Structure 1
Amino acid sequence: MVLFSLDDPFGIRKAVVPLFWMESNGDLQGLGTAFVIDPWGGLTTADHVIADARLRGIMQHDRSGDFRINLPSDTGLVALHGYGVVFGTVGLPPAALRLVSRIWSPALPGSDPIAALQGRPDYQAIDLAFLTTQTPSLSAVRNLRLRSNPPQPKPGDVVVAIGYPRIETFKGSQDEARTTISEGMKAAYGRVVQLHPHGRDRSNPTPVFEIEANWPSGMSGGPVFNSEGEVIGLVSRSIAPETEDGLGTAWATWLQAFPELPDWAPTLDRNNSDWRRGWAVVRKLPWHLAGVFGSEERAREVAECAGADYVVSAGAWRLGSDDFVEVC
């Protein structure tokens, strides 16, 4: 169950993307891995991957204790969308680097006695974060199927994680990043050994499933797939094996353990892993789907240009198809 290079005939690089911190001069510092959850700029990663970026943004406080962060518009956290295996000397396409404008990390009440004595809020982020980027071109993204309902993983199940294990060590120009990215996406199998629905311990309350696997830290935030090709978790933490030919221990944030997941990521469809919820511009007779969008505002702008026969409807869309079902 070692790392192996992943050939990309199905465009998986459009779904599993590297995250960087971009300096004002355009240089990049590798952070970890994220994956696309909808075609409108929604990404998911592990909170610890972007924890430092959270500190550089402007926090919006609410009673939930969740971390809601607005990031600067000129420099900061970026995701690299739609960059496949390339050859030659072409650099990174400028449009491929999409700035992250918002971070949302759900939180649980903490257990710090000092905070209680001082009467101040104490919350600990779950190792799960939702990112919003500038909307990429539809041709630059691919959405993954997410399993938010049972069946859940069980001991003995074989899973596979995908990510960029060397990305954390990268620091340099965008041109220098090209080789790291084009050669750096890896996959590794693992076997589920235990479920921790209430977290590993008090200091690690995130629900996880434990895996016997070798998953290097740069893969943190990358998707973990079941045997049906559905995302059931994301890489959270890992401990390297004691011997070169041994197996380490890894933990994956367990998506199905969060009943709030459809509320945290409202574009997900509760019942269908390859559908997403959005706002469609449709003509009902004869049927024509002009497009599906992540916001009602954007859909209404498109409808105004589409013609009087087109209306805006909220519903569920089968990704990559003309299938759309209205939802009240």
Structure 2
Amino acid sequence: MEELVPFEIATCEMTESSQWGSPLAPDPERPFHPFRIQDPFGLRNAVVPVFRQDTNGQLFGFGTAFNIDQFGTFLTAHHVIDFSGENGTSRPVLLLSMHAIVIGSVAIPNDCFVPVTGYQKVMMDSDDPIGALRGSQERKVAVDLAVMQTSPLGSQVRPPQTVSVCINGWRPRVGDILLAVGYPELDFSELSADSQKMLLSEGMYGAYGRIVDVHLNGVGTANPSPVIEVETDWPPGMSGGPVFNRAGDVVGIVSRSIRAEGDLPGRGYAVDLGRAYEVQPFAPSLDAPGWQVCWGLFLEDEFEPFSVHVSEEAAVSAGNLLRQPHRIVKIANKIGTKDYMLI
């Protein structure tokens, strides 16, 4: 195969090219296999491990999620967190970075384990004509995607950075190269304190792949999500992780995979965000890549937003605390900057 040109991925907050890390280079002998990513101040702050936490506090690794705006909104694959409806016996928890630079080994602050307070999923009627006649037709998940909201962050956790998400204007083509990022060393066993530290510091991996097919209606009734089929080797813990195109935008979510074996290449299936049209009603902040729809709080006679907020109500509350003249405007804001456009 021709030589693979490594991607350069920056978070939205990394506004200067000098802040970007090195190109994400795989093993040249095995370019479509997982490789370790060392980016503790960039991608590690935007792409995070997902745990299941039981009522007794035990943590079990389940997959990957990523941050899409500055308001605590994360995306993952639905199957990563579908345990959370089990009679309230467990909940999804994200492992965010510490608000510190650490030398040596220290305990991870509890603040870094951030609970998911709620999530939305896309549903559809199941193919059950008898149930439809009886008026009791069941519904099923239509897209392997979940939009999660997190609880407010504590003082010891670093605010997450944001990846650029593209939901319009990009279409997958056979032969294109994509890059998935996630935490393949997660498994379903209970995580020890040492394994938690490893995930926080050096558990992130990437895996390149080549598009071999595009399935607009999924790959069967059990998996109706519009998916991109990729020749690659995505380990299970990467489920829910972002899939980047060469421009550095997230265009998919790792949904499922078949591991490479011997001389046989593996297969990965990523939810196609450009055709998962149902995602935007649940994630209304999504706009052009690197931008977020929000409400700007402007001080009187100021032309840059003093702050940005997820809703008009949140902006009103923040304005009331200022006790000075201000205005509130719905805007599209370039994430990590004061740049904006009126909506």
TM-score, structure 1 normalization? 0.87
Counterpart residue identity of residue 265, structure 2: L
Which of 59, 78, 97 aligns to 1:28? It is: 59
Aligned counterpart, 2:151: 134
Q: 1 CA distance for matches of 2:98 and 2:172? A: 31
Who is 2:27 aligned against? none
Query: CA–CA distance in 2 between the matches of 1:295 and 1:135?
Result: 15
Q: 1:80 Cα shift?
A: 1.4
Matched, 1:4 2:35: yes
Q: Which amino acid aligns with 2:51?
A: F
Work out whether residues 49 and 199 of structure 2, in 8 Å CA contact, stay in contact via their aligned partners in 1: no
Unpaired stretches in structure 1, ≥5 consecutive residues: 58-71
Partner SS for 1:111: coil
Equivalent runs, 1:66-85 vs 2, <5 Å: 76-83=91-98
Task: For residue 289 of structure 1, give the secondary structure of its aligned residue in structure 2.
Answer: coil
Change (3 A) 1:123 1:87: farther
Does the CA contact (< 8 Å) of 2:125 and 2:138 recur in 1?
Answer: yes
- Please state whether the residue corresponding to 2:218 is helix, strand or coil: coil
Are residue 159 (structure 1) and residue 174 (structure 2) matched?
A: no
Could you tell me how far apart the structure 1 residues matched to 2:161 and 2:266 are?
31
Structure 1 counterpart SS, 2:60: strand
Offset from partner CA, 1:77-123 (integer Å, 9 cap, x none): 21112359955221212222111111211012211355346531322
Structure 2 counterpart of 1:148, from 167, 170, 174: 167
Q: What secondary structure sits across from 2:306 in the alignment?
A: strand
1:42 to 73, 89, 103: 73
**What letter is aligned with 1:130?**
V
Alpha-carbon contact 1:299-1:312 (below 8 Å) kept: yes
Aligned twin of 2:235: 216
Quote the residue 2:137 is aligned against.
Answer: 121
Q: Does structure 1 residue 110 correspond to structure 2 residue 129? A: no
Task: Write the letter of the residue equivalent to 2:151.
Answer: Q
Corresponding pairs, count: 308
Instruction: Say if 1:10 and 1:87 are closer, same or farther in 2 by CA, change over 3 A.
Output: closer
How many angstroms does 1:44 deviate by?
Answer: 0.5
2-side partners of 1:229 and 1:309: how far apart? 40
Q: Give 1:176 deviation, angstroms.
A: 4.4
For 1:297 and 1:118, the matched residues in 2 are separated by 42
Report whether the alignment pairs 1:255 with 2:270.
no
Cα distance change of structure 1 residues 274 and 226 upon mapping to structure 2, 3 Å threshold? same
* TM-score with structure 2 setting the length: 0.83
Does the CA-based 8 Å contact 2:243-2:251 persist in structure 1? yes
Change in CA separation of 1:23 and 1:202 when aligned onto 2, cut-off 3 Å: closer
Contact in 1 for aligned 2:128/2:137 (Cα 8 Å): no
* 8 Å contact from structure 2 (residues 229, 267) kept in 1: yes
Partner of residue 51, structure 1: 82
Q: 2:204 matched to 1:188?
A: no
Letter in 2 for 1:39: Q
Displacement after TM superposition at 1:284 (Å): 4.9
Cα separation, 1, equivalents of 2:324 and 2:199: 49
The one-letter code of the counterpart of 1:282 is: F
Give, in angstroms, the shift of residue 276 of structure 1: 0.4
- Candidates 75, 82, 91, aligned match of 2:107: 91
Kindly state the Cα deviation for residue 14 of structure 1 after the two structures are TM-superposed. 1.0
Task: Within 5 Å, give how 1:280-291 maps onto structure 2.
Answer: 280-291=296-307
- Residues 17-61 of structure 1: CA distance to partner in whole angstroms, max 9, x if unpaired? 11111233432111110011111110110011111113345xxxx
Comparing 141-150 with 152-161, which one deviates more in the overlay? 141-150
SS in 1 for 2:106: coil
Match in the other structure for 2:10: none
Decide whether the 8 Å contact of 1:13 with 1:83 is kept in 2.
Answer: no
Pairwise CA RMSD = 2.2
Q: Which amino acid aligns with 2:80?
A: V
Between stretches 43-52 and 311-320, larger displacement belongs to 311-320
Change in Cα spacing, 1:83 to 1:16, as seen in structure 2 (3 Å) is: farther
How far did 1:151 drift? Answer: 2.4
Structure 2 residue identity aligned to 1:44: L
Q: 3-state SS of the aligned residue for 2:338?
A: coil
Out of 185, 197, 201, the residue aligned to residue 216 of structure 2 is: 197
Q: Which amino acid aligns with 2:332?
A: A
Contact 2:225 2:276 in 1 (8 A): no
CA distance in 2, matches of 1:260, 1:24: 32
Following superposition, the deviation at residue 136 of structure 1 comes to: 3.5
The residue identity in structure 2 corresponding to 1:77 is P
- Using the alignment, how far apart are the partners of 1:286 and 1:257 within structure 2? 39
